[in-house]
């Protein structure tokens, strides 16, 4: 079997996500960290679900639990990557940090970002449907930065609230599709530089190992050793997520299929649009861990 793992970011979390996930020690520890009894019940409250600290802590904990329950049923992945906060779970799945450490780092990452956002409130805006040239013109005129690049004509812009409001009006005039993301920080832009520096100091105290499988980073291409892993995990907070490059790098490994771990199907949908001959599915598509394993095994090498 040759498959890749993609770990989702925040913004599409919902109460019915990961319907097959068992209530294990990682899930219980996550709930204790969040001060809740039932994470699905908590996610039903939009004001709770959209808080940056809640979302990052919850999504990291659930992704770690999901992979922990799937891994015994599967061979090791051929490549791993995570989208935004999904990198914490991805680095754990690749053997760089253990699951307990990754889960503990999530609220610290969120706290650093929230402190930064308190001085410069911001957010993110997904824009698509117009040329790359018009997207860049929109970005410059609105005073935003490129937060995430999913493709040449599909990006996420980040910056202050007023600039995002201006960008929405400009995008409508250009005939672009735009959606304000359910986040309240300008992730992956220079407005988060202080957060990246703070998280870097936190990571300096954390033991890191070299990846045990091929690992690609949002900010640092392939991660080959502990030092580059530590640098990349902090740097991506304030740098553009080059997700299109992550997908291209994984595709070059000639994987036979791709599994998205997390809420929704955003990453698997992007993959299928970019590489229609290599199927991708999301954990949210299945009703059991056994069904996920069966699908992955159906694409095993002959």
CB 168 within 8 A of CB 180: yes
What the block records as the tokens of 67 is 């992979």
Helix, strand, or coil here: 121? coil
CB 259 within 8 A of CB 6: yes
CB 139 within 8 A of CB 157: yes
User: 223 pLDDT exceeds 80?
Assistant: yes
Query: What number is the average pLDDT over the span 116-130?
Result: 92
User: 4 pLDDT exceeds 60?
Assistant: yes
Q: How many CB atoms lie within 10 A of CB 220?
A: 18
Pair type for strands 154-160 and 122-128: antiparallel
Fold of 3-118+189-297: Malonyl-Coenzyme A Acyl Carrier Protein; domain 2 (3.40.366)
Q: Which helix (DSSP H) or strand (DSSP E) does residue 5 occupy?
A: strand 3-7
CA angle 164, 170, 172 (to 5 degrees): 105
Distance CA 246, CA 150 (A): 9
Overall residue count recorded for the chain in this entry: 302
User: Which pTM does this prediction carry?
Assistant: 0.95
Q: pLDDT tier at 120 (50, 70, 90 boundaries)?
A: confident
Query: What number is the average pLDDT over the span 182-197?
Result: 94
* Residue % of the chain over a pLDDT of 70: 98
Q: What local confidence, expressed as pLDDT, does residue 302 receive?
A: 54
Query: What number is the average pLDDT over the span 151-166?
Result: 92
* Helix pair 243-251, 266-274: axis angle to 10 deg: 60
User: 1 pLDDT exceeds 80?
Assistant: no
Architecture of domain 122-180: 2-Layer Sandwich (3.30)
Question: 215: which strand partners?
Answer: 80, 223
CB 186 within 8 A of CB 137: no
Q: What local confidence, expressed as pLDDT, does residue 169 receive?
A: 93
Domains 3-118+189-297 and 122-180 share a fold: no
- What residue spans define the domains of the chain? 3-118+189-297, 122-180
H-assigned helices in the chain = 25-34, 39-43, 46-49, 52-70, 86-93, 99-119, 132-142, 161-174, 193-203, 226-235, 243-251, 266-274, 289-297
Residue 37 neighbours by CB under 8 Å, 6+ apart: 31
């Amino acid at each position: 079997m040759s498959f890749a793992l993609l770990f989702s970011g925040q913004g599409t979390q919902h109460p019915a996500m990961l319907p097959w996930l068992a209530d294990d020690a990682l899930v219980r520890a996550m709930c204790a960290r969040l001060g809740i009894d039932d994470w699905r019940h908590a996610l039903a409250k939009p004001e709770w679900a959209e808080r940056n600290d809640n979302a990052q802590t919850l999504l990291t904990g659930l992704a770690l639990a999901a992979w922990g329950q799937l891994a015994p049923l599967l061979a090791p992945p051929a490549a791993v990557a995570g989208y935004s906060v999904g990198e914490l779970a991805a680095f754990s799945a690749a053997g760089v940090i253990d699951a307990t450490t990754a889960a503990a780092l999530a609220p610290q990452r969120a706290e650093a970002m929230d402190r930064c956002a308190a001085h410069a409130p911001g957010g993110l805006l997904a824009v698509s449907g117009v040329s790359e040239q018009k997207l860049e013109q929109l970005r410059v005129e609105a005073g935003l930065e490129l937060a995430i690049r999913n493709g040449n004509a599909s990006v996420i812009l980040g910056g202050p609230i007023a600039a995002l409001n201006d960008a929405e009006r400009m995008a409508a005039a250009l005939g672009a599709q735009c959606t304000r993301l359910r986040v309240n920080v300008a992730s992956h832009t220079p407005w988060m530089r202080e957060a990246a520096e703070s998280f870097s100091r936190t990571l300096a105290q954390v033991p890191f190992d070299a990846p045990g499988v091929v690992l690609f980073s949002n900010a640092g291409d392939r991660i080959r050793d502990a030092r580059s892993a530590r640098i990349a995990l902090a740097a991506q907070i304030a740098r553009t997520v080059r997700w299109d490059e992550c997908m291209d790098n994984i595709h070059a490994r000639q994987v036979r299929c791709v599994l998205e771990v997390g809420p929704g199907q955003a990453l698997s949908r992007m993959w299928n649009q970019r590489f229609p001959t290599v199927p991708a599915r999301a954990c949210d598509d299945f009703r059991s861990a056994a069904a996920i394993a069966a699908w992955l095994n159906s694409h095993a090498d002959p």
